[in-house]
C-alpha cells in the first residue's frame, strides 16, 4: 500500500501500541496473537486494538502480511524496510529523551517484582 | 467458562466494529480470543471482561474513524436535534417557572395578612410597572380585585392606573383552577401573574416582569443553537471526511 509519508521521521512520534507492535515484529514475522503477547510486555492491548493498529500499519506500509498458517486461521505479519527505519528512528528519539532525562538527574527506579 | 460460550459472547461484541472491519478481521479476532482462552486454566470471566472492554473501546474508535453512511449521518443529526430540542424546551420551561416563584410567595403573604384582618388598602401604589427599571428588576406587584375583576387596591400602577387584566380571566381561573398566567398588557410589558380566588369572591393577584427571564431564555436558546450547529458540523465532518479503506486481504 503506497503512502505519501515515506520518510521515517514523518511517522514519529509513534504511539506506545505502534512501537510495541513494530518491536514485536523486529525479530521476524509473527501472527496476531504472538504479536499481542509480546506487545503486552510494554502496553495493555486487546485483539481489537491490535488489529486496528495493525491495519493502520498495513495501510501506511510499515507492515505487510506474509501469508496464512496451514489451517488458514492465522495471518502472519512482517515489518517492512520502512517500518524498520521508523522503529530505529523512534528508538533513537526515545534514547535522546532518556539521555536528556538522565542529564537532569532523573534515574530509573528499580521495580521489585 | 467454556470456550463456546466465551467465543459466542465475544463474537457478539464484534458488532461494535464497523462492518468492513468485521469482515476484514473477524476470524483473526476470534482466533486471538480462542488462544487467550486456551492459555488460561481459570479466570475466563475476567478475560472475557477484558476482551469486551477492548471491543467497546476499539470498536467505537474504529466507528469514529470510519466515515458515516448517509442514513447514519441523517439519523445521528436527527437524534441529536431531538435531544437538544427536548433539552431546550425543558430548560425554557424551568426558566419560565422561576418567574412564578416570587408572585406565588407574594400572593401567599397577602392572603395570610388578609386572613389576619388586614384591610385591602394595605396595598398602596409605590411603583410604575411600565417603567423600564421595574421591568428589568425582580420586583413584584400585588393587587386585589373584586368578583367582577375590577381593581380594589394595588401596590403598583400601569401608566398611572391600577393594573387591570381582562375581566374574563377571573371566572376562568375559578373554573379551571389554573392560577398561573402570562399577561401582556402592551408590547414590551409581559408579566407572570399568580392569581388566588378568595372565599369572599375577591381575587389576589401578584406579578413579576418576564423581561429578565426572557433574557435568560434568549441566552439559553443561543447556547442550544450553537450546540446544534456544532453537532451538525460534527456529523457533517464524520460524513464528508475521507479515510483510507481497511487493508485488503491478500
Report all structural domains of chain A as residue ranges with CATH numbers, in order of start. Answer: 10-103 (1.10.10.10)
- Look up residue A100 and give its three cell numbers: 536528556
pLDDT for res B125: 86
Q: Output the CA angle A64-A68-A71, nearest 5 degrees.
A: 165
Instruction: Sort out which chain A residues have CB atoms less than 8 A from B57's CB and list them.
Output: 46, 48-49
Using a CB–CB cut-off of 8 Å, the residues of B that contact A are 17, 21, 24-25, 27-29, 31-33, 35-36, 50-51, 53-55, 57-59, 61-62, 244, 246-247, 250
Closest CA to B69 of B191, B249, B235: B235
Q: Are strands B156-157 and B127-128 parallel, antiparallel or unpaired?
A: parallel
User: Is the complex ipTM higher than 0.85?
Assistant: no
By Cβ distance, the residue of A55, A67, A74 closest to B246 is: A55
Computed on alpha carbons and rounded to an integer, the radius of gyration of chain B in Å comes to: 32
Q: Cα–Cα distances in Å, from B247 out to A8, A9, A35, A43?
A: 20, 23, 18, 24
User: Within chain A, which residues score under 50 in pLDDT?
Assistant: 1-3, 113
pLDDT for res B56: 93
pLDDT for res B250: 56
DSSP result, chain B: --HHHHHHHHHHHGGGS-HHHHHHHHHHHHHHHHHHHHT-SS-HHHHHHHHHHHHHHHHHHHHHHSPPPHHHHHHHHHHHHHHHHHHHHHHHHHHHHHTTHHHHHHHHHHHHHHHTT--GGG----EETTSHHHHHS--EEEEEE-TTS-EEEESEEBTTB-----TTHHHHHHHH---EEEEEEETTEEEEEEEEE-TTS-EEEEEEESHHHHHHHHHHHHHHHHHHHHHHHHHHHHHH---PPPPPP-
Determine, for residues A32 and B247 on separate chains, whether the beta-carbon distance falls below 8 Å: no
pLDDT for res A112: 57
One digit per residue, the tens of pLDDT, for chain B of length 250 reads: 788 899 999 999 999 998 888 988 999 999 999 998 998 888 888 999 999 999 999 998 888 777 777 787 788 888 989 999 999 999 999 999 999 999 999 999 999 999 898 888 888 888 999 999 999 999 999 999 999 999 999 999 999 999 999 888 888 888 888 889 999 999 889 999 999 999 898 999 999 999 999 999 999 999 999 999 998 888 777 777 656 566 666 5
Determine, for residues A48 and B31 on separate chains, whether the beta-carbon distance falls below 8 Å: no
Instruction: Sort out which chain B residues have CB atoms less than 8 A from A71's CB and list them.
Output: none
**B79-110 CB burial, b ≥16 within 10 A, e <16:** ebeeebeeebeebbeebbeebbebbbebbeeb
Closest CA to A15 of A37, A31, A39, A34: A39
First to last CA, chain A: 43
Among chain B residues, the shortest Cα distance to A35 is held by: B32
pLDDT for res B153: 93
DSSP 8-class letter at A73: -
Q: Are strands B156-157 and B151-154 parallel, antiparallel or unpaired?
A: unpaired
Closest CA to B67 of B249, B245, B250: B245
Q: Look at the block and give the residue holding cell 377571573.
A: B170
Amino acid at each position: 500500500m503506497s503512502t505519501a509519508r515515506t520518510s521515517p521521521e514523518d511517522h514519529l512520534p509513534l504511539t506506545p501500541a505502534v512501537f510495541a507492535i513494530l518491536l514485536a515484529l523486529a525479530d521476524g514475522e509473527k501472527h496476531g496473537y504472538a504479536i499481542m503477547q509480546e506487545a503486552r510486555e510494554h502496553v495493555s492491548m486487546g485483539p481489537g486494538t491490535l488489529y486496528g493498529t495493525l491495519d493502520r500499519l498495513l495501510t501506511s506500509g510499515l507492515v505487510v502480511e506474509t501469508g496464512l498458517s496451514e489451517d488458514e486461521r492465522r495471518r502472519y505479519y512482517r515489518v517492512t524496510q520502512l517500518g524498520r527505519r521508523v522503529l530505529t528512528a523512534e528508538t533513537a528519539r526515545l534514547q535522546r529523551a532518556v539521555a536528556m532525562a538522565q542529564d537532569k538527574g532523573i534515574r530509573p527506579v528499580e521495580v521489585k517484582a | 467458562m467454556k470456550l463456546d460460550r466465551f467465543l459466542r459472547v465475544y463474537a457478539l461484541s464484534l458488532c461494535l466494529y464497523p462492518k468492513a472491519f468485521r469482515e476484514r478481521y473477524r476470524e483473526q479476532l476470534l482466533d486471538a480470543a480462542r488462544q487467550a482462552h486456551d492459555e488460561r486454566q481459570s479466570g475466563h470471566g475476567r478475560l472475557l471482561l477484558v476482551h469486551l472492554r477492548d471491543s467497546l473501546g476499539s470498536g467505537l474508535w474504529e466507528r469514529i474513524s470510519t466515515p458515516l453512511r448517509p442514513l447514519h449521518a441523517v439519523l445521528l443529526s436527527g437524534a441529536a436535534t431531538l435531544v437538544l430540542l427536548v433539552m431546550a424546551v425543558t430548560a425554557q420551561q424551568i426558566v419560565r417557572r422561576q418567574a412564578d416563584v416570587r408572585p406565588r410567595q407574594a400572593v401567599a403573604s397577602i392572603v395570610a395578612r388578609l386572613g389576619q384582618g388586614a384591610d385591602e388598602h394595605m396595598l398602596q401604589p409605590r411603583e410604575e410597572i411600565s417603567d423600564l427599571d421595574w421591568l428589568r428588576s425582580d420586583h413584584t406587584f400585588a393587587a386585589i380585585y373584586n368578583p367582577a375583576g375590577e381593581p380594589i387596591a394595588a401596590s403598583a400602577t400601569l401608566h398611572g392606573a391600577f393594573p387591570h387584566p381582562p375581566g374574563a380571566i377571573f371566572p376562568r381561573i375559578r373554573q379551571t383552577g389554573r392560577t398561573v398566567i402570562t399577561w401582556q398588557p402592551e408590547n414590551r410589558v409581559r408579566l407572570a401573574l399568580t392569581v388566588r380566588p378568595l372565599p369572599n369572591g375577591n381575587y389576589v393577584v401578584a406579578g413579576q416582569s418576564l423581561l429578565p427571564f426572557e433574557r435568560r431564555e434568549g441566552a439559553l436558546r443561543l447556547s442550544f443553537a450553537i450546540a446544534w450547529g456544532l453537532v451538525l458540523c460534527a456529523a457533517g465532518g464524520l460524513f464528508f471526511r475521507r479515510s483510507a479503506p481497511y487493508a485488503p486481504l491478500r
